[in-house]
Structure 1
Amino acid sequence: MLPYTTYLIDLDGVVYRGNELLPGAREFVQWLEANGKKYIFLTNNSFATGSQILAKLERLGIPATPEHLMSAGQAAMQNIARRLPGARVYIVGEQPLVELAQEYGLTVVEVDAEEADVVLVGLDRFFDYSKLTCAVRIVLAGALFITINRDPLLPIAGGGFLPGCGTLAAAIEAGTGVTPEVVGKPEPMLLLEAMERLGSKPEETVMIGDGLDVDILAGQAAGTHTILVLSGRNNRADIEVSPIKPEHVYEDLADLLRQLQQVKS
């Protein structure tokens, strides 16, 4: 634990489950603050805004500020703005994603545009044939093609599903033959952009998550250390049969915190 100056922390299944705060989450964040650690909460969510996620953390008793949260949408904008400052972006997505692009100094083109530098795909409940046609034409003309994540389905309250942004990206991919760059976990871009913001290196950073094939795989791809907590998706039996092995395993953040408190910061 001694080399870890930076903690990248998944939310659902690690900090909370639904509207329930998980054991040790509040105390773990207090420990990070007290010991001067750098940390960011990470989420693949392309639908909820940053303010909505921060408000949820506040309701659960975890004070959080914007610098301690990075969504896959933010990571995408940060990455595009660094590679193509002021780029024209065609967005398959809803208003929060449009506003986020504008915050990063990017130019959002109209939904019927014929040209752009980038096609960026997020969750879009108003996706239609016209948007598909424009996105396909722009990618075929040479635009960079990026999707927030490749999740085909988005779970919703009551046990149902919506098509996720991965489904929308797949339609554009089918029409163009171009494979999109993926921002969200298990790809490494979200983690790399978080470390870019914090000024941290992979060797001093640890990814904490509850999913072997999402969080731990992303950490390995980004070159960070990895911690799996068993308060979410995976259990010890899953670890036994998975080719993806975390460096450390704890029951939850409370269990992790007990270990950290035994190590001199």
Structure 2
Amino acid sequence: MLKEKKYFLFDIDGTLAVGETLYDGTKELLEWIERKGGRSFYITNNSTKSRKDYVDKFARWGIEASEEQFMTASYAACLYMKEHYAGKKVFVLGTPSFVEELKGFGVQVTEEAEQDVTCVLAGFDDTLRYEKLEKACKLLFREEVDFLGTNPDLRCPAPFGFIPDCGAICGMIRDTVGREPHFIGKPNRVIADLCAKQCRGSSEEFLVVGDRLYTDIACGINAGMETAVVYTGEADEEEVRTSIWKPDYCFDTIRDLYEAVKEAAETGEKAE
């Protein structure tokens, strides 16, 4: 089935890169997809960066990409908030970049625990201060204030291992106020659906690639797409064996995926 893949939905952190370092094989795979007339999308749950930030980051790696190729948790959150909280005030735990992106969609953002706040929205916030957590909890002890999170990831890959992600931040708040957040990003299929809307392909032509089973692989399964896990981030073989989220393909690295899809395509071409 790999020879039929034309549209690739890649997670970024732990899949294509870690921090500022691009994994071996990533650039070659993305260039190969482009040469074959396919298209790459980037479906990250990282809400610290806007789509423009990612375009600039990929450019530093020598990879040309447009904003339309990035379906981030922050972008999905912006669309969700515009639809469900138009004209309402939202308290945001997030980076300045995320806040500015929300404002660009017309969301009324505040960093104060004001009486007319209707929702607390938490993202992966590497500018987090304890004061922000205190204000979020103060708001969420009011039952009429909704609790949303951009993504449920517990940890984010870092050059030395992992750092707390949005799911871990929301976990602190959840354990304090006794309320579960509603998550907007992966494994919610909406991010994959946004990519599919830009293409006219069948579900068999899509492949979702990531390093986490409960977000990346679950997102692909929820969207009815085949999935591939790489063991350069969070998941390992033991987790794949025990998880309810079973990928269709498993690879040690992104280079291994590149070699596999290239071989499958070449074999298919020879057979024809």
Q: Which TM class, normalised by the smaller chain length?
A: 0.7 to 0.9
Letter in 2 for 1:132: A
Aligned mate of 1:132, from 131, 136, 156: 136
CA change 1:261–1:13 in 2 (3 A) is farther
CA change 1:242–1:167 in 2 (3 A) is closer
Cα distance between partner residues in 2 of 1:31 and 1:77: 32
What is aligned with 1:92? Answer: 93
What is aligned with 1:209? Answer: 210
| 1:186-238, Cα deviation, whole Å (9 max, x unpaired) | 44343344445667775653211233343212211332211223454445565
CA change 1:135–1:240 in 2 (3 A) is same
Contact residue 70 and residue 194 of structure 1 kept, 8 A: yes
Moved more, 195-204 or 212-221: 195-204
What is aligned with 1:25? Answer: 26
Where do residues 236-255 of structure 1 align in structure 2 (5 Å cutoff)? 236=237, 239-250=240-251, 251-255=256-260
CA change 1:171–1:245 in 2 (3 A) is closer
CA change 1:254–1:113 in 2 (3 A) is farther
Q: Once the 2 structures are TM-superposed, how far is the Cα of residue 4 of structure 1 from its aligned partner?
A: 4.4
CA change 1:188–1:42 in 2 (3 A) is same
Contact residue 50 and residue 74 of structure 2 kept, 8 A: no
The percent of aligned pairs where both chains have the same amino acid is 26
- Superposed CA RMSD in Å reads 3.3
Where do residues 1-265 of structure 1 align in structure 2 (5 Å cutoff)? 1=2, 4-122=5-123, 123=125, 124-128=127-131, 130-137=134-141, 140-141=143-144, 143-154=145-156, 158=160, 161=163, 163-174=164-175, 176-195=177-196, 204-236=205-237, 239-250=240-251, 251-263=256-268
Q: Once the 2 structures are TM-superposed, how far is the Cα of residue 182 of structure 1 from its aligned partner?
A: 1.1
Letter in 2 for 1:179: E
Q: Once the 2 structures are TM-superposed, how far is the Cα of residue 61 of structure 1 from its aligned partner?
A: 2.3
Q: Once the 2 structures are TM-superposed, how far is the Cα of residue 88 of structure 1 from its aligned partner?
A: 2.9
Letter in 2 for 1:105: G
Q: Once the 2 structures are TM-superposed, how far is the Cα of residue 112 of structure 1 from its aligned partner?
A: 3.0
Letter in 1 for 2:263: R
Letter in 1 for 2:129: F
TM-score w.r.t. the length of structure 1 is 0.79
TM-score w.r.t. the length of structure 2 is 0.77
Cα distance between partner residues in 1 of 2:261 and 2:148: 35
Letter in 1 for 2:102: A
Cα distance between partner residues in 2 of 1:155 and 1:16: 9
Structure 1 unmatched runs, 5+: none
Contact residue 203 and residue 224 of structure 2 kept, 8 A: yes
Q: Secondary structure at the match of 2:9?
A: strand
Cα distance between partner residues in 2 of 1:22 and 1:260: 22
Q: Secondary structure at the match of 2:117?
A: coil
Q: Once the 2 structures are TM-superposed, how far is the Cα of residue 119 of structure 1 from its aligned partner?
A: 1.9
Letter in 1 for 2:140: V
Contact residue 12 and residue 42 of structure 2 kept, 8 A: yes
Contact residue 75 and residue 194 of structure 1 kept, 8 A: no
Cα distance between partner residues in 2 of 1:223 and 1:63: 28
